Amino acid sequence: MSGSRTNSNDSKARPVLQAGLIGNGIAASLTPAMHEAEGCELGLDYTYRFIDTSSDEFRGQSLAQLVDMAESNNYAGVNITYPYKAEILQYTGELSANVQALGAANTVVFANGKRIAHSTDYSGFSRSLERDMAGWEKRKVLLVGAGGGGSAVAFALADWGVEELLIYDIDAAHSRALTGRLELHRPQLLTRLLPGLDKTALAGVSGIVNATPMGMARHPGTAIAADLLLPAMWVADIVYFPLETELLAAARAAGCKTMDGSGMAVFQAVHAFELFSGLKADPDRFVKQFEQLTSTDDP
């Protein structure tokens, strides 16, 4: 089991496991609670910590320092979120096959003196597509956001069977870099960069995926204007706090089918848990835990 040890003070000798989430403005993340709940179910003494660079404790520390800290403290690994998913590759030694293609990672496992980078964003979004979007139109899809999360989404869309992918990012360099990786690793996918978002550019679009932070509590608003949404489109968002983003609310009002970020959040956590622990997780328990954590009902 990666990064685990036995707690000698526990009469049941539960294996001890530590992991963490590195990101900026992550206090609302549900990932720690999901990991710890599953660890408890599987008999682990599991602690999953926030390493938030917007907090007083970690503000001003570099990503390199934080990864070193986690490794030196015997963490099994760390998850990586905004804005460090591309930068993290500078501080890892081995890249999984999907990370080599994506150019970004959201999970680093510490094992046998190595740092191994994975993308459970890719696997998480892929499983979400399979579970929630069967039968949805795949002909032409718009991806907004070409950073680390957007890269994972783009490759998942390609492997789901999207025929043409339109890519827009406020930073054109991100769009060009992602397009280059797709042309190299997914040559069957037709890609086109958009210089902006308007009705002409979106003509004939079947679906839209928001892979930007827009819609998060710390990044309010929407990356796609409501007047661009048409009833024939479907709209997906990878943001999950809140689940009801401004974009999804506008899409439902326009008559679009929608998919929120819950599936990606749950399934990336399942895969990361398995990488950290070496144990098989129960996706249904993760789903149930996520639903409990996001319930607005009074107890």
| CATH class assigned to 122-260 | alpha beta
4-118+264-294: CATH number: 3.40.50.10860
pTM of structure: 0.91
Point out the least confidently predicted range of 10-24, 151-165, 254-268, 279-293: 10-24
**Could you state, in order of their start, the residue ranges of all structural domains in the chain?**
4-118+264-294, 122-260
pLDDT tens-digit series, residues 199-250: 999 999 999 999 999 998 888 999 999 999 999 999 999 999 889 999 999 9
| CA 171 to each of CA 55, 92, 167, 178: distance values in angstroms, whole numbers, following the listed order | 27, 25, 11, 11
Whether 4-118+264-294 and 122-260 share one fold: the answer is yes
Label the pairing between strands 190-193 and 207-210. unpaired
d(CA 70, CA 53): 14
pLDDT value of residue 295: 85
The first and second tokens of residue 279, run together, are: 């144990």
The catalytic position among 48, 82, 84, 91 is: 84
d(CA 161, CA 140): 10
Identify whether 82 is a catalytic site residue. no
Q: Given a cut of 70, is residue 6 above it in pLDDT?
A: no
d(CA 139, CA 190): 10
